[in-house]
Chain A
Amino acid sequence: MIQLIPHIINGLTLGLLFALIALGFTLIVGVMEVINLAHGAMFALGAYFAMTTIGGGWFAGTEFGTWWLSLPIGVRYAVGVVVGPLLAACAGMVLELCLRPTYGKAPLYGLLLTFGAGLVIEELIRHYWGTGEQSLTVPQSINGAFFMAGLIFSKYKFFAAAFAIVAIFGVWAFLEKTPYGAIIKAGAHDSEMVRALGYDLAKLRLLIFGFGAALAALAGIAMAPIWGLRPHLGIDVIIPAFLIIVIGGVGSFWGAVIAAVLVGLAVGITGAYAPAWSMLSMYLLLIAIVGFRSRGLMGRKSALEN
């Protein structure tokens, strides 16, 4: 049992990171009913933006660039964590503008468009940053290892998990405690009514897409030091994100968080005792949960079930 504890801790931290990945995805699916297959590309794009900001690549060779690089890494990292998601949010909003002609049409149009956008973004990354592996530098204070019960743990992973907790509660507070969040939730529930009450639905959708992309970017920045950074990094994200929102119940915020933690625990614990099954464990979890409860853990009841 004692040997199991480190693996449970590991599963929990992994789950929190999965939750961070799934948040933006569930927001867009829940509010706009668009499965954004470019979510993974936004994840990678945000990490690349942050990497270039931290490394001063935007203004290399200039006086400002020299000054920038003389700043402590902690400051540059903090700026990167803000700039990366902001730029990704802009890209997300451009994507939403492109999506507009597909609203009201068969879901396949939106699906194909976001799939294509994901490929385009990946190619743009390849073109601008190259095909090779890159690394996102993090401050020394959160890098390295620490010992607990005679075992080595990664400081950064715990930092990223804490970062994920802050982000989860930040998003929750935004949705639950601000008027903007109320409008977004109302838009998810009944968009026509929101429009009838005089809110600009087009602006709302733009905001949601930007917000979703920024969350994807934030997750990318958190994960890049663990997973590495390469143009096709986003592919690693889409399947777990999709799986988590289905397990949690499409559109459910806490459903996604709980599902992510369950997936993290499943992967972490099987990784220790039956490692060959660790990737498969998340699919088995999906089958087990959706088999008994087709709308996921906290999904809304369908009108057909009444």
Chain B
Amino acid sequence: MPNPKISRRNLLGSAAAAGGLATVFGPWKHNRVYAASSDKPIKIGITSDASGQYANSGASDRRGMLMAIEEANARGGVLGRKVEHVHIDTETTPATGSRVAERLITREECGFLIGAVSSGVANAISQVAQRYGVIYLNTNSSSPTESGENCHRVKFVWDGNGANFSKAAIKNSLDAYGGDVMLVTNDYVWGHDTAKATRSLVDQYGGSIVDEILVPQGTRDFSATLLKLQQAGPNVVAAAVGGDDQIALRQQVAQLGMGDKMAWINNQQDWPDVYGLPLDNLFGVFGTTWYYGLDLPGVKEFVQRYQEMYPDTGMRVPGNVFYNGYMATKNLLDAIERAGTTNNIAVIKELEGHVMTAEERMQHHDAVIDPNTHQVQQTIYLATANEAPKEDDDMFKILTQSDPEEVRDQNSIGACNLESYEDTPTFDA
């Protein structure tokens, strides 16, 4: 029979083993400190796409972030600390987005993550970010679920979403062209969520959905879709097709001259997707959050700063994707400065409910970061092709501008359930 006597050595050994296990498996929340000294740079992980469907928009998004970072460093940094960045390509793929986020947080020790165009990727990144408590700015993805059921305490959504854009466009189109609407939907989260928002608005305004054509991501030939549209003959086509798919669709609609055969609502039009294309590719009406031709204070100077920083880029003027990347990054850095700390919870509280003046945003109305959904409520513009451009780049004609309250996505408010501060790991970046 073994000796039941508990020796001091055994007791100490057991205590050490229990402590070790508890550290690994215990329920305690880890509070990390990345930066103890003020000379350590603030490190931002850029999670924009450099390949895949949104490679082009990802590059524009990134340029916006880099300009904001450079401007902050030129002012002497943030809290006296230099701002550094690391970029890893998220490949427009959610699984890659998760891996990139994990690596940027755990290996590169980035205290903040910024960037997305695809909602699937943004959702994947934000799940990882929430697990570590790292603030993540979804700059350019527009699925309503991003600030609805997929919202997170650490995530802030800077673009207008599908519901905002639909609200701005649907009623006008139904009144003008008739109530039979056909949906052309990219077969992934943003497409589905935008189509859902459109359906509900069409119902609300007395229209009816004739049919929905689901377009898989990566589709390059839209002939079957366009034939089907002709056979169905709807009054209005509400398209939620993005990135390279949308470029191919536009090109093929323009070739067939179908742009004016039925009323097209292209939910949102990202500038990098159309820049440099012939004007007949820009058929129908579409939403945007910003245009370089807005006659507002600060716009000209902003364009000039862009041109000075990127003299060689083929895109001579900034668009909405660049704008969102810039605004998100700038406002994050400003929030850190206002908070006087890089503690994530303090910065989150600074961002929540923060009001940005119209002048600061270079938009027609003040914008606010909704504290309940973390989406920026902002002016939404409805635009179409500019038949009388002042210069080559002047491609859009702004038709209307909507107050943020008029186009607010009410469904997100009910669907979003932010994690509590207590359930969000805290740390100083």
Query: What are the residues of chain B within 8 A of A145 when measuring CB–CB?
Result: 255-258
Name the one of A129, A272, A280 contacting B227, with C-beta atoms under 8 angstroms. Answer: A272
B256→A227 contact, CB < 8 A: no
B248→A226 contact, CB < 8 A: yes
Tell me, in angstroms, the Cα distance from A232 to B243 when the chains sit together.
13
Query: Given A131-B56, A131-B314, A230-B247, A10–B275 Cβ distance below 8 Å?
Result: no
Query: What are the residues of chain A within 8 A of B251 when measuring CB–CB?
Result: 135, 225-228
The 10 tightest CB contacts between A and B, nearest first, are A271-B224, A130-B314, A276-B214, A279-B216, A228-B247, A145-B256, A10-B223, A272-B224, A132-B314, A227-B220
B214→A275 contact, CB < 8 A: yes
What would be 18 A-B contacts, judged by CB atoms less than 8 Å apart? A10-B223, A130-B314, A131-B56, A131-B314, A131-B315, A132-B276, A135-B251, A135-B276, A151-B227, A154-B255, A154-B256, A156-B255, A228-B251, A271-B221, A271-B223, A272-B228, A275-B216, A278-B219
A236 at the interface (CB under 8 A from B): yes
Using a CB-CB cutoff of 8 Å, which residues 271-323 of chain B contact chain A? 272-278, 281, 313-315
Tell me, in angstroms, the Cα distance from A22 to B216 when the chains sit together.
22
Name the one of B220, B228, B255, B313 contacting A236, with C-beta atoms under 8 angstroms. Answer: B220
Using a CB-CB cutoff of 8 Å, which residues 261-278 of chain A contact chain B? 267-272, 275-278
B273→A133 contact, CB < 8 A: yes
Query: Given A10-B227, A133-B274, A135-B277, A144–B218 Cβ distance below 8 Å?
Result: no
B187 at the interface (CB under 8 A from A): yes
B224→A7 contact, CB < 8 A: yes
B218→A279 contact, CB < 8 A: yes
Using a CB-CB cutoff of 8 Å, which residues 40-95 of chain B contact chain A? 51-52, 55-56, 59
Instruction: Bin the interface of chain A by size.
Output: 35 or more
Query: What are the residues of chain A within 8 A of B409 when measuring CB–CB?
Result: none
Query: What are the residues of chain A within 8 A of B220 when measuring CB–CB?
Result: 226-227, 236
A152→B272 contact, CB < 8 A: no
- Quick one: closest B residue to A269, CB to CB? B224
A74 at the interface (CB under 8 A from B): no
Query: What are the residues of chain B within 8 A of A131 when measuring CB–CB?
Result: 55-56, 59, 313-315
Query: What are the residues of chain A within 8 A of B252 when measuring CB–CB?
Result: 154, 226
B225 at the interface (CB under 8 A from A): yes
Query: Given A228-B248, A228-B251, A133–B221 Cβ distance below 8 Å?
Result: no
Tell me, in angstroms, the Cα distance from A137 to B96 when the chains sit together.
36
A268→B223 contact, CB < 8 A: yes
B224→A152 contact, CB < 8 A: no
B277→A280 contact, CB < 8 A: no
Chain B min CB distance to A224 (Å): 9
A143 at the interface (CB under 8 A from B): yes
Query: Given A10-B224, A133-B273, A133-B275, A143–B219 Cβ distance below 8 Å?
Result: no
Chain B min CB distance to A166 (Å): 21
B420 at the interface (CB under 8 A from A): no
Using a CB-CB cutoff of 8 Å, which residues 1-59 of chain A contact chain B? 3, 6-7, 10, 13-14
Query: What are the residues of chain A within 8 A of B230 when measuring CB–CB?
Result: 151-152
B213 at the interface (CB under 8 A from A): yes
Name the one of B218, B257, B277 contacting A152, with C-beta atoms under 8 angstroms. Answer: B257
- Quick one: closest B residue to A146, CB to CB? B256
A133→B213 contact, CB < 8 A: no
- Quick one: closest B residue to A134, CB to CB? B276
Chain A min CB distance to B149 (Å): 22
Tell me, in angstroms, the Cα distance from A14 to B421 when the chains sit together.
55
Tell me, in angstroms, the Cα distance from A242 to B157 when the chains sit together.
39
A230→B244 contact, CB < 8 A: yes
Query: What are the residues of chain A within 8 A of B215 when measuring CB–CB?
Result: 275
Q: Most chain-B Cβ atoms within 10 A of its Cβ — which of A10, A132, A231, A236?
A: A132
- Quick one: closest A residue to B221, CB to CB? A14
B10 at the interface (CB under 8 A from A): no
A76 at the interface (CB under 8 A from B): no
Chain B min CB distance to A150 (Å): 8
Tell me, in angstroms, the Cα distance from A145 to B230 when the chains sit together.
13
- Quick one: closest B residue to A233, CB to CB? B244
B103 at the interface (CB under 8 A from A): no
A278→B56 contact, CB < 8 A: no
Tell me, in angstroms, the Cα distance from A198 to B22 when the chains sit together.
76
Chain A min CB distance to B256 (Å): 4
A157 at the interface (CB under 8 A from B): yes
Chain B min CB distance to A170 (Å): 24
A278→B276 contact, CB < 8 A: no
Query: What are the residues of chain B within 8 A of A230 when measuring CB–CB?
Result: 55-56, 244, 247
Query: What are the residues of chain A within 8 A of B277 when measuring CB–CB?
Result: 133, 135
Tell me, in angstroms, the Cα distance from A198 to B230 when the chains sit together.
61
Chain A min CB distance to B262 (Å): 11
Name the one of A152, A269, A270, A276 contacting B261, with C-beta atoms under 8 angstroms. Answer: A152
B231 at the interface (CB under 8 A from A): yes
Tell me, in angstroms, the Cα distance from A279 to B214 when the chains sit together.
11
C-beta contact mask, B103-138 vs A, less than 8 Å → 1, else 0?
Answer: 000000000000000000000000000000000000
